[in-house]
Chains A and B, each alone.
Chain A
Amino acid sequence: MPKKPVTFMLNGAEQAAFADDGQNLLDLLRRGVGDLAPKYGCGQGGCGACTVLIDGVPHLSCLVLAETVDGRRIETASGLAGARLHPLQEAFMAHFAAQCGYCTPGMLMAAKALLDQNPRPSREEVVEAISGNLCRCTGYEPIIEAILSVANGGARA
């Protein structure tokens, strides 16, 4: 089965990989490129654990055909921290916004997409922004508080 070359920016660095026909982006990122941050939770677009940003917009990578990201800019949770952690990462830690941690990479990307577009969201807007991401552990409140704490100008311990 011939593979298709796909070239894209991943967390600021150029990546090249080969996609099988019909392969989804989640699988390409995890197995093809070795970025294990986005997770498999359902393969149906229901849980959001696979959320990545494509050109700044949140997508369900399990439902994105891998070859369609050629030339695009992808961000995953692996790229949030530089020399220092991203404020959202600090806030999640401070607010106990992760327990098992499995939904966390997807949640962080949904939150980042929101704050990049809307630095001072209302609580309603935060709820809407993470409405495509399921969490079975925290009950969502700590996550919403963590995001609001960044929105209001810096992680609060």
Chain B
Amino acid sequence: MSEGMIEFRKEFFADERDDTLKEIGRPTRRQDILGHVTGRSPFYDDHLFQGLLHMRCARSPHHAARIRRIDTAEAERSPGVVRVLTGRDVPLNLNTLLSLLDFGIDDEPLLSTDRVRYRGEPVAAVIAETEAQARAAAAKVRIEWDPLPHVLDVEEAIRPGAPAVLDVYPGNRFVYHGTYDHQKLRYGDVEAAFRAADHIVEGRYQMSPIEQAPIETCGAIAAPETNDRFVCYTSTQALFFSLATTAKVLQTPSSRLHFIGGTVGGGFGGKVDSVHEPLAVLGAMLTGRPVKFMWDREEEMQVGAPRGAERWYIKDGVMRDGRIVARKFTGYFDSGAYTRLTSYAVIKAVGHLPGPYTIPNVHADVSCVFTNRTPATAMRGFGITGVDFAIEAHMDKVAETVGMNPIDLRILNAYRDGDMKAHRRLAKNCALIECCQVVAEKAGVQLSNASRAASSRQGGGGDRALLPAYTALDQAGRVSGFEGGSYARKAARSRPAPQPVPPAPGPIGRRATTQPPPQSAPQRPRAAEPPPAAAATPPPPPPRQGPIRFSSLSGFRRR
């Protein structure tokens, strides 16, 4: 980085900081850049294999449909085709990515067998000698569809009577810990504060799905290794997710898998879903040969998971002087057809509310909603950037309503060290005020005297460190039919748990020595039976007396 591109404002928080910077502001070579400029960095496709096979999928053209029949006969006879995989070949054909963290219910097949829920969902995987042959043969997979009603809008999806995207979540909302169909944040009493406010400011903010569009498309190459293991070169950003997901879905011990990643041609969060490796490894297992599964550009853009769209409604109660006394959020994350990571995105978003401001009454209902869109995944600032756009656009709207300079408004409402935040933790290491001051200076915006004198280290704490005397709680969005416990399951009476399917009969060209069948190895001991669901709602816990203590994760500044 050339000098002069960074301006250091060392006068801020100078007494808290050791300014001997050894790396920041100096040109430092990336450890991998020599490989990049010589063309030697080993992206997953930069590995040559003798006898490499190519995999391409037959995909749903419908947003939602039942599959009546999958006929692979013509595809199997197509020139160069070695094997065609369907869901029956997948040992455990139902998964959710975060089951690895004990969070969520398995909802997504690797290859769909009876139902598809988004356009592009894979139904069969054709493996052939060349990419062109695989492509031609995939077009010959004959699937009989019964198109179903579909829903593409989050608010339509949660209306009663909307088509259910997933049987597991009939209300089209992810269920958190078997209890609620959304994440709740309750702090103080927004309705009372609205009644006392001088202004009510409302806004609706919508963000589209955003495609990460890396130059390298997603993919993996898997090949048999000598000691009954399989090597897999992958584009993944999440090597251990990919390894463990593959082990789970293929019901194989992870010790049989040798995963090599770490060189990603642009990820930006879009290469974490781990859908390539299981198919590539399965292909290698069932053919005994190296198999490459690489998305072309069209798949990368349409089938590849984008950052999910979000819709936010924000309602503020504002006093004449610009103080925001109440903020109410209703947020909808469009997860698309499957859960993947969106359940987690919502939790991140809720932890972020109401933004970097001290607001004494905050209320949020945020849902992970299922629609028949392409399943969503992570992208930079996962779960946060959408709501930040909504919050900051809304702050400008509030400023306009009260006739205040938008930067003055932010400084007025900014959190200060020692303030209690809506998630019941004390704010520390705040710097919004200082950032606003520098922004105003750079933009040539004249601030009020109060704004110019403000500091993150002054004016916080005291009364502002107290929890609200009363917080309005509610049981809205309570669901039934789910068993609680650390890994919430749909109640046994409404849906049987998925049974692992034994792999289909042996591949063409299997090695002469007989291999023992792959061990079915669960990744962790079965969870203890959850207690029977309580007949009545337990009483809410008594309000806490003080802030939750926690150790600082960053520890950048000494106190």
CB atoms of A and B under 8 A apart anywhere in the complex?
yes
- Binding site secondary structure of chain B: loop
Tell me the minimal C-beta distance from B294 to chain A in angstroms: 8
Chain A residues with CB under 8 A of B264:
100
Tell whether, in the assembled complex, residue B266 and residue A137 are in contact, meaning their CB atoms are under 8 Å apart: yes
Q: Which of A53-61, A74-82, A121-129 contacts B (4 or more CB under 8 A)?
A: A74-82
Tell whether, in the assembled complex, residue A102 and residue B216 are in contact, meaning their CB atoms are under 8 Å apart: yes
Chain A residues with CB under 8 A of B297:
41-44, 46-47
Tell whether, in the assembled complex, residue B38 and residue A49 are in contact, meaning their CB atoms are under 8 Å apart: no
Q: Top 8 closest A-B pairs, CB basis?
A: A101-B36, A37-B39, A102-B265, A42-B297, A77-B39, A89-B37, A98-B36, A36-B46
**Of the candidates A46, A108, A137, which one forms a contact with B37 in the assembled complex, judged by CB atoms under 8 Å apart?**
A108
22 sample A-B contacts, Cβ–Cβ < 8 Å, listed by A number: A30-B45, A36-B45, A38-B39, A40-B45, A40-B217, A44-B297, A46-B297, A76-B39, A77-B37, A78-B38, A89-B37, A89-B38, A92-B33, A96-B1, A96-B30, A98-B37, A100-B215, A101-B33, A101-B36, A102-B265, A104-B39, A135-B215
- Binding site secondary structure of chain A: loop
> Which positions 42-76 of chain B face chain A at CB distance < 8 Å?
43, 45-46, 48, 52
Report if A94 contacts B (CB, 8 A).
Answer: yes
Report if B27 contacts A (CB, 8 A).
Answer: yes
Chain B residues with CB under 8 A of A43:
296-297
**Contact A100-B265, Cβ < 8 Å, known A39-B216, A40-B45:** yes
Tell me the minimal C-beta distance from B476 to chain A in angstroms: 42
Chain B residues with CB under 8 A of A22:
132
Chain A residues with CB under 8 A of B265:
39, 100-102
Docked Cα-Cα span, A93 to B29, in Å, equals: 7
Docked Cα-Cα span, A97 to B52, in Å, equals: 33
Chain B residues with CB under 8 A of A144:
none
Report if A85 contacts B (CB, 8 A).
Answer: yes
Docked Cα-Cα span, A103 to B263, in Å, equals: 13
Tell whether, in the assembled complex, residue B268 and residue A94 are in contact, meaning their CB atoms are under 8 Å apart: no
Tell whether, in the assembled complex, residue B39 and residue A78 are in contact, meaning their CB atoms are under 8 Å apart: yes
Docked Cα-Cα span, A76 to B30, in Å, equals: 23
Per-residue interface assignment for chain B, residues 5 to 31, with 1 indicating a CB less than 8 Å from any chain A CB and 0 otherwise: 000000000000000000000010110
With A43-B297, A101-B263 given, name 7 new contacts (CB 8 A). Answer: A46-B297, A77-B37, A93-B34, A95-B2, A104-B36, A104-B37, A136-B266
Tell whether, in the assembled complex, residue B27 and residue A39 are in contact, meaning their CB atoms are under 8 Å apart: no
Report if A83 contacts B (CB, 8 A).
Answer: no
* Count of chain B residues with a beta carbon within 8 Å of a chain A beta carbon: 37
Q: Which residue of B is nearest A95, CB measured?
A: B2
Tell whether, in the assembled complex, residue B39 and residue A157 are in contact, meaning their CB atoms are under 8 Å apart: no
Tell whether, in the assembled complex, residue B38 and residue A81 are in contact, meaning their CB atoms are under 8 Å apart: yes
Report if B502 contacts A (CB, 8 A).
Answer: no
The listed residue with most B CB atoms (<10 A of its CB), out of A38, A88, A137, is A137
Docked Cα-Cα span, A30 to B35, in Å, equals: 17
Chain B residues with CB under 8 A of A157:
27
Report if A34 contacts B (CB, 8 A).
Answer: yes
Report if A67 contacts B (CB, 8 A).
Answer: no
**Of the candidates A94, A136, A137, which one forms a contact with B27 in the assembled complex, judged by CB atoms under 8 Å apart?**
A94
The listed residue with most A CB atoms (<10 A of its CB), out of B45, B132, B266, B268, is B266
Docked Cα-Cα span, A36 to B265, in Å, equals: 14
Docked Cα-Cα span, A78 to B41, in Å, equals: 11
Docked Cα-Cα span, A76 to B36, in Å, equals: 13
Tell whether, in the assembled complex, residue B296 and residue A80 are in contact, meaning their CB atoms are under 8 Å apart: no
Chain B residues with CB under 8 A of A100:
36, 214-216, 264-267
Chain A residues with CB under 8 A of B29:
93-94
**Contact A96-B27, Cβ < 8 Å, known A46-B297, A145-B2:** yes
Report if B474 contacts A (CB, 8 A).
Answer: no
Chain A residues with CB under 8 A of B36:
92, 98, 100-101, 104
The listed residue with most A CB atoms (<10 A of its CB), out of B34, B38, B46, B216, is B38
Tell whether, in the assembled complex, residue A101 and residue B35 are in contact, meaning their CB atoms are under 8 Å apart: yes
Interface residues on A, range: 35 or more
Tell whether, in the assembled complex, residue A77 and residue B38 are in contact, meaning their CB atoms are under 8 Å apart: yes
Tell whether, in the assembled complex, residue B37 and residue A49 are in contact, meaning their CB atoms are under 8 Å apart: no
Tell me the minimal C-beta distance from B381 to chain A in angstroms: 16
**Contact A47-B27, Cβ < 8 Å, known A39-B265, A96-B1:** no
Tell whether, in the assembled complex, residue A136 and residue B215 are in contact, meaning their CB atoms are under 8 Å apart: yes
Chain A residues with CB under 8 A of B2:
95, 145
Q: Which residue of B is nearest A49, CB measured?
A: B215
Q: Which residue of B is nearest A137, CB measured?
A: B266
Q: Which residue of A is nearest B36, CB measured?
A: A101
Docked Cα-Cα span, A77 to B37, in Å, equals: 8
Chain A residues with CB under 8 A of B1:
96
Report if A9 contacts B (CB, 8 A).
Answer: no
Chain A residues with CB under 8 A of B216:
39, 41, 100, 102
Report if A115 contacts B (CB, 8 A).
Answer: no
Report if A64 contacts B (CB, 8 A).
Answer: no
Tell me the minimal C-beta distance from A142 to chain B in angstroms: 8
Tell whether, in the assembled complex, residue A102 and residue B214 are in contact, meaning their CB atoms are under 8 Å apart: yes
Tell whether, in the assembled complex, residue B266 and residue A92 are in contact, meaning their CB atoms are under 8 Å apart: no
Tell me the minimal C-beta distance from B51 to chain A in angstroms: 12
Per-residue interface assignment for chain A, residues 15 to 47, with 1 indicating a CB less than 8 Å from any chain B CB and 0 otherwise: 000001010000000110010111111111011
Report if B454 contacts A (CB, 8 A).
Answer: no
Chain A residues with CB under 8 A of B39:
36-38, 76-78, 104-105
Chain A residues with CB under 8 A of B207:
none
Docked Cα-Cα span, A148 to B43, in Å, equals: 28
Chain B residues with CB under 8 A of A46:
297
Report if B440 contacts A (CB, 8 A).
Answer: no
Tell me the minimal C-beta distance from A101 to chain B in angstroms: 3
Q: Which residue of A is nearest B28, CB measured?
A: A96
Report if B32 contacts A (CB, 8 A).
Answer: yes
Report if A134 contacts B (CB, 8 A).
Answer: yes
Docked Cα-Cα span, A39 to B297, in Å, equals: 13
Report if B197 contacts A (CB, 8 A).
Answer: no
Q: Which residue of B is nearest A103, CB measured?
A: B215
Tell whether, in the assembled complex, residue A102 and residue B43 are in contact, meaning their CB atoms are under 8 Å apart: yes
Report if B238 contacts A (CB, 8 A).
Answer: no
Chain B residues with CB under 8 A of A88:
37
